[in-house]
Structure 1
Amino acid sequence: MGTFQIEGGHKLKGEIRPQGAKNEALQILCAVLATPEEVVIDNIPDIRDVNKLIEILGNLGVKIQKLGKGKYSFVSDDVKLEYLESELFKKEGSSLRGSIMIVGPLLARFGKGYIPRPGGDKIGRRRLDTHFEGFIKLGATFRYNREERFYGVEAPNGLTGTDMLLDQASVTGTANIVLAAVMAKGTTTIYNAACEPYLQQLCKMLNSMGAKISGVGSNLLTIEGVESLGGCHHRILPDMIEIGSWIGLAAMTKSEITIKDVSWKDLGLIPETFRKLGITLEKQGDDIYIPSHDEGYEIQGYIDGSTLTVADAPWPGFTPDLLSIVLVVCTQAKGNVLIHQKMFESRLFFVDKLIDMGARIILCDPHRATVMGHNFQSQLKATTMVSPDIRAGISLLIAALSAKGTSIIHNIEQIDRGYENIDERLRAIGAKITRIESA
């Protein structure tokens, strides 16, 4: 188990460039299975979860060639479906939640797909019903081996387009169903579809491969099935979650930071939400400039004077992956805020670590926490922590970089799952952070 040692309380300064988006990469990589032709993908982040999915694709028989930093070629002309029922796949697939999205393209192209119950962050229940109900509506048969926790779907005669209303606007569920429906016979309509930028990117990529998807960017997708898909070149967007993380880091450490090439048009409510916390963001071309907040930052209340609530919601609402960052940023703000995590019931349980550091937080229930900011009148204190998941891990790292003294964060493999070479990149702008590998 790896460890970060962080000497907090130092201002940072400089430029930082966001990695390619993890959540988009997991969808896009699964899409290479939909065609036997070459697919070239650029701006792939070098992180644990993505690298694990690339390894799974290789074991499936996909020919993979690295063309440069973050740029790969994939050719899926000799897919080995027998790997899906191997013990190796049961082990590898169960450790990565994103592996679930290989089922859609395999079902569409080969008439069957299997997956062990996938892993991922321990942030509460994350059911898979939306995925499999969508496949069933397209004509697939479903089976689940409870003893081995193994899912299977089969459609030996192909899939047939249909109308469906999703029970929830699941991003991975929508992506999986889209990947299956693009080669179904006839027309499929998906209502209450997710419409996050990363899902839009997947649809645009599939259209460039010959799919016929309309309504991209809305919650109603119409898909006219095609017989086959061809190759393409695709570039992944910058990671909006990492961009939000660097905004929070700059504010908490009173640092002057420029975040390069952020794709402003794809950030949605993220800039405005941080502005409501009193953080100054300047748009400079396609960059975000954050000046040093030497005088602190003050949370804006509502116009009637009541306490601000920051809550997550499906896109175009505020992404749940940034609520942990918002929470830690508010510990040093002037004013109070209610954080309402609606989508996952275990994501706020890391706040006890922040309380140990001196933050004033009341955990109201599994979904809500009230934060009473210190306004930098009392600095957080260094401590020893364990990273429970990716987003809580980066929040604890930001807290440690702002704290007085030297903090220790164990289980940093969780942070590495979502953030590329984070210690090196932070040292480049002045952070005092050391990686200590376990013996």
Structure 2
Amino acid sequence: MASFEVIGGKKLKGSIQPQGAKNEALQIISAVLLTDQEVRIENIPDILDVNLLIELLADMNVQVNRIDPHTCTFKADNINTDYLNSPAFREKGSKLRGSVMLAGPMLARFKKAYIAKPGGDKIGRRGVDTHILGFQKLGATFNYNPTTSCLEFTTAGLKGTYMMLDEPSVTGTANVLMASVMAEGVTQIYNAACEPYIQQLCRMLNSMGAEITGVGSNLLTVKGVKELSGTTHKMLPDMIEIGSFIGLAAMTSSELTIKNAGIEHLGVIPDKFKRLGIQMTFKGDDIYIPAQDHYEISTYMDGGILTIYDNPWPGFTPDLISIVLVTAIQAKGSVLIHQKMFESRLFFTDKLIDMGAQIILCDPHRATVIGLDRKHKLRGITMSSPDIRAGQALLIAALSAEGKSTIQNIEQIDRGYQQIDKRLIELGADIQRIDEKK
């Protein structure tokens, strides 16, 4: 198990380019199973979760050609469908929640699919009910195998229908959408997620010959086709990385430029950080953040304390709640952070409190941050990363703190941020990766 040793208190300076979007990658790469023709994917993030999904495809006999660390071609013309019912798949698939999105394409093309007990972040209950109900409405049957802890789906042929999803789940929408593109007839998916990554998946599928309308809305209409062809698709920049870099610049009083940020796809993210008092300027598709000695949290017009909460798109993404919380530590003023969707995501605040942050954890979903306004520095401690986003938040805290911090279990950070230590070292950060195997 590796760790980071961080000497904090150093100002960073320079330019950094965000990786390709992790949450888009897991959907897009799963979609290559929908055709026997070659699909080229560009701007792939070189991170653990995505590389594990690519390994799973290769294990299924998908021809994978890694042209460079961020570009791959895939050809799924000789799939071993039985692999998904093997102990090897269950072991590897259980490490990656994104493996559930193989089920939609497999049902559409091969009429059977399996979902292993999903892994991923331990941030609260994250059921697969939306996926199951959607597949059932398309005509699939499922069986839970208690021996393998695996869900098994079969169908004689999926048929289009109208459905209202029980929640606007991003992975649920993606999975049902991929299942429906080759279903007989017309499918309407209401209460669909409409995040930019779902829009990207729709555009990719349409470029492969699918007929999807309503892209960008919460009502997707899919006219089933008999087969799909190959395509080339380029992923968006990762909005979560972009938000992380904005928070990092503020906490460390650093002057940073985020290059090629895909600003038109960021929604309310820049505005939420501006509410914390963070200055930024858009220069073309770059975001320039000047060094700020102080930044002040705004209040509501009636003087009430600002609340930042997560919501389905176009609301604020839950993946940046941890970053906003840590960024508020050194602001002037107070903010209530309300994490609605996951009941375990705020538990990492105990580590920030040990570092000297003034945070009141009201309940599993809400925390109040009383900003220090840089009157006191955080102090370095030893801590462990519980999940991807909390891990990055702890890294930001460590980089702003006085003295040495040790962050253990950094494999969690590596799952979502590619070579984050090397990229931040280039900006002036003092980070050392310690591999305990050596």
Please state which band the TM-score falls in when normalised by the shorter chain.
over 0.9
Cα offset, 1:146, TM superposition: 2.8
The equivalences for 1:31-430 within 5 A come to: 31-155=31-155, 157-294=156-293, 296-430=294-428
Aligned residue for 2:136, secondary structure, equals helix
User: Match for 2:319: what amino acid?
Assistant: D
User: Match for 1:303: what amino acid?
Assistant: M
Please give the TM-score of this superposition, normalised by the length of structure 2: 0.99
| CA displacement 1:185-225 (0-9 Å, x = unmatched) | 00000000000000100000000000000000000000000
Structure 2 stretches lacking a partner, 5+ long: none
Structure 1 stretches lacking a partner, 5+ long: none
| CA displacement 1:337-362 (0-9 Å, x = unmatched) | 00000000000000000000000000
User: Match for 1:380: what amino acid?
Assistant: L
2:21 aligns with: 21
Cα offset, 1:152, TM superposition: 1.0
Aligned residue for 1:369, secondary structure, equals strand
Question: Structure 1: how far apart are the matches of 2:93 and 2:217?
Answer: 31
User: Match for 2:11: what amino acid?
Assistant: K
| CA displacement 1:352-381 (0-9 Å, x = unmatched) | 000000000000000000000000001100
Question: Structure 1: how far apart are the matches of 2:147 and 2:276?
Answer: 48
Question: Structure 1: how far apart are the matches of 2:147 and 2:333?
Answer: 51
Aligned residue for 1:354, secondary structure, equals helix
Question: Structure 2: how far apart are the matches of 1:146 and 1:80?
Answer: 23
2:3 aligns with: 3
Aligned residue for 1:350, secondary structure, equals helix
RMSD: 0.5
Question: Structure 2: how far apart are the matches of 1:49 and 1:68?
Answer: 17
Question: Structure 2: how far apart are the matches of 1:28 and 1:146?
Answer: 30
Aligned residue for 1:309, secondary structure, equals strand
| CA displacement 1:284-321 (0-9 Å, x = unmatched) | 00000000002x10000000000000000000000000
Question: Structure 2: how far apart are the matches of 1:126 and 1:383?
Answer: 31
User: Match for 2:209: what amino acid?
Assistant: G
Cα offset, 1:147, TM superposition: 3.8
Moved over 6 A (4+): none
Question: Structure 1: how far apart are the matches of 2:336 and 2:253?
Answer: 23
Question: Structure 2: how far apart are the matches of 1:158 and 1:250?
Answer: 52
Aligned residue for 1:380, secondary structure, equals coil
* Paired residues, number: 437
User: Match for 1:133: what amino acid?
Assistant: L
Cα offset, 1:396, TM superposition: 0.2
User: Match for 2:128: what amino acid?
Assistant: L
Question: Structure 1: how far apart are the matches of 2:202 and 2:96?
Answer: 23
Question: Structure 1: how far apart are the matches of 2:402 and 2:95?
Answer: 36
| CA displacement 1:61-90 (0-9 Å, x = unmatched) | 100001123000000000001111111001
| CA displacement 1:156-190 (0-9 Å, x = unmatched) | x2100000000000000000000000000000000
| CA displacement 1:114-166 (0-9 Å, x = unmatched) | 121110000000010000100000000111123421001101x2100000000
User: Match for 2:71: what amino acid?
Assistant: K
Question: Structure 2: how far apart are the matches of 1:342 and 1:281?
Answer: 28
% identical aligned pairs: 63
Question: Structure 1: how far apart are the matches of 2:436 and 2:163?
Answer: 49
